[in-house]
């Protein structure tokens, strides 16, 4: 738990330069993964938010990709989201698995999980929020550097 808090804090510091202040921001982490939201992608429609986020694996070979970039429909009035599409990439940003296209099926989520944290941040934000990383790959690269102690 303390390692994951340290990763999130270090990512905030590493990216905290005016030149990089673009759109991606770390919003949650665990010992095995870290997530960021692309604030420039958020679309608000009542209690729902469509947004793009990245989930970065911090455990080598735990999954057949290094990070995923997904667009989701978050239902802020309930604890659920629907994945619209996902891309699965290696450390160089090359696609390693066929993209996933969702069918609109809602997935329940729980507070205290990475997706619960993503929901909390997305539903509490508006389109004026911004992050410090210019791409999901830049965010992922920084997450790996921090988790590997570089």
* Average pLDDT of the chain to the nearest whole number: 86
Contact 121, 114 (CB under 8 A): no
Q: Supply the range of the domain harboring residue 69.
A: 2-145
**CA torsion, points 88, 39, 10, 134, in degrees to nearest 10?**
70
Predicted confidence (pLDDT) at residue 6 exceeds the cutoff of 80: no
85 falls within a domain? yes
Radius of gyration of the CA atoms of the chain, in A: 14
Q: How many domains does the chain have?
A: 1
pLDDT of the residue at 126: 84
Instruction: Identify the pLDDT of residue 148.
Output: 86
Confidence (pLDDT) at 10: 45
Instruction: Express each pLDDT in 38-91 by its tens digit.
Output: 999 999 999 999 999 999 999 988 999 999 999 999 999 999 999 999 999 999
Tell me the average pLDDT across 97-117. Answer: 94
Of all helices (H) and strands (E), which one includes residue 59? none
CATH number (domain holding residue 126): 2.40.128
User: Taking 90 as the threshold, does the pLDDT of residue 21 lie above it?
Assistant: no
CA–CA distance, 44 with 75 (Å, rounded to integer): 10
Look at 48-52, 124-128, 132-136 and tell me which has the smallest mean pLDDT.
Answer: 124-128
In a domain, 74, yes or no: yes
Residue 150 within a domain: no
Structure confidence at residue 11 (pLDDT): 46
Q: Report if residue 57 sits inside a domain.
A: yes
The 3-class secondary structure across 61-114, one letter per residue, is: CCCCCCEEEEEEEEECCCCEEEEEEEEEECCCCCEEEEEEECCCCCEECCCCCH
93 within domain boundaries: yes
pTM: 0.82
């Amino acid at each position: 738990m303390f390692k994951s808090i340290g990763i999130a804090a270090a990512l905030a510091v590493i990216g905290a330069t005016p030149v990089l202040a673009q759109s991606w921001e770390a919003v949650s982490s665990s010992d095995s993964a870290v997530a960021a939201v692309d604030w420039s992608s958020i679309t608000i429609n009542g209690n729902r938010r469509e947004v793009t986020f990245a989930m970065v694996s911090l455990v080598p070979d735990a999954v057949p990709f290094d990070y995923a970039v997904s667009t989701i429909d978050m239902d802020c009035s309930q604890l659920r989201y629907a994945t619209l599409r996902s891309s699965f990439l290696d450390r160089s940003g090359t696609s390693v698995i066929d993209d996933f296209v969702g069918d609109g099926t809602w997935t329940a989520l729980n507070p205290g999980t990475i997706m619960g944290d993503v929901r909390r941040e997305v539903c509490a934000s508006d389109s004026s929020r911004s992050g410090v990383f210019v791409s999901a790959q830049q965010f992922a690269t920084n997450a790996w550097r921090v988790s590997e102690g570089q």
